Amino acid sequence: MNWRSILHVALLAGLYFNAGAQNKFTPQKALLATIQQNFKDADAQYKVMGAMLQPDQFPKAFHPKENKMETSNSGWWCSGFYPGTLLEIYEQNHDKALLTESERILKVLAKEQYNTHTHDLGFMMYCSFGNANSIDPKPEYKQILLNSAKSLSTRFNPVTGTIKSWDSKPGDYLVIIDNMMNLELLFWATKVTGDSSYYKIAVTHANSTMKNHYRPDYSSYHVVNYDAQSGVVKERKTAQGYANESAWARGQAWGLYGFTLMYRETGDKKYLDQANHIAQFILNNPNLSPDKIPYWDFNAPNIPNALRDASAAAIMASALLELCRYTDRAKGQTYFNTAQTIIQNLSSPTYKSAKGTNGGFLLLHSVGHFPAGTEIDVPLTYADYYFVEAMARYKAFATK
């Protein structure tokens, strides 16, 4: 049973911090059947994907018009999602071919444990080696994860109270909302070693993010630029969103997920409150479409003709299926129902790939970096990863 499965069981048993812990929700039998088929299809799809990769390549995106796979090396921030998704599918289907492929590609990824030039070691190493270590604990996996946590910690600046996201020109200290997702690796490291420094870094970063990234309506800026010497915020802006003051959809999803896991790991109610506020901003937004698959930015100028972002939807669904256990019954039911709707719609032919197509990816229609003109309306590895995670979390509600 991997760490995600343990979390699911704990949620169902009501072991997590009181508020809403006794909430119980009933999954739809028809959707459970759809999910089972989705996992069967995912098994076949990821074998198609694997056959298209060279030994040192990681999938990044697929361009249907050119019938071309876009790949990366192990240093790309998404490199951990391919082995992580393989392992999640393996947990459901027990197809050893997927386990073998994950073990192969993990060997290529392992060197990134010493990468101190990225804040995304949580994505890269915890979504991959974290899952692998939960399925089959090995001393080498544990050491890789600890080295990764050490590498991530080197990017923390106590003056700004944050982990630096992007290396940039001197004088700039850039922190993006995505970084909330990388804190889980640090909590794991404290649990395993007893060294509280990792925990303190994670909490300090989350507190600074809550203070400086969020507007009064609980929407998030994408990027905050600090003065590294004084800790003063110099500017708040976007990189991948429509405008500096817009609400980039995936950024809102990263925050929702990140503050939900902060509550799980600390039990501090301020993080639960923050997650609830973010959820309310998303779910009550007049520009959230009825099918709950968000436009790539909540303030995109051409809504309702703006592109959708399946990756943001998948992240939202997974986060809501955890958050619904921590809050009051009424909110919890809304969160559960919304996640259910998202999974249903992502499972439809509108968003789910036909078998044997789409380079082996599961989902269509994600948006990576619209302003830069890259990864626009294509499948993306993190969309698949969080879709698979959301489906596994939904299935766990049936095991009560």
The one catalytic residue in 41, 178, 309, 384 is 178
Q: How far apart (Å, rounded) are the C-alpha atoms in residues 261 and 272?
A: 9
Residue 178, annotated as binding a ligand = yes
Return the structure tokens found at 315: 């992240």
Q: Which residue has the tokens 């959707």?
A: 31
Closest CA to 293 of 389, 182, 377: 377
Residue 120, annotated as binding a ligand = yes
Q: Do the beta carbons of residue 80 and residue 118 sit within 8 Å?
A: no
Q: How far apart (Å, rounded) are the C-alpha atoms in residues 357 and 45?
A: 8
Q: How far apart (Å, rounded) are the C-alpha atoms in residues 178 and 379?
A: 19
Q: Do the beta carbons of residue 274 and residue 254 sit within 8 Å?
A: no
Q: Does residue 178 have an active-site annotation?
A: yes
Buried b / exposed e over 238-275, threshold 16 CB at 10 Å, is bbbbbeeebbbbbbbbbbbbbbbbbbbbbeeeebbbbb
Residue 238, annotated as binding a ligand = yes
The one catalytic residue in 41, 43, 120, 309 is 120
> Is residue 179 packed enough to be buried (19+ CB in 10 Å), middle (13-18) or exposed (0-12)?
buried
Residue 250, annotated as binding a ligand = yes
Q: Specify binding-site residues for substrate.
A: 120, 178, 238, 250, 254
Q: Specify binding-site residues.
A: 120, 178, 238, 250, 254
Catalytically annotated residues? 120, 178
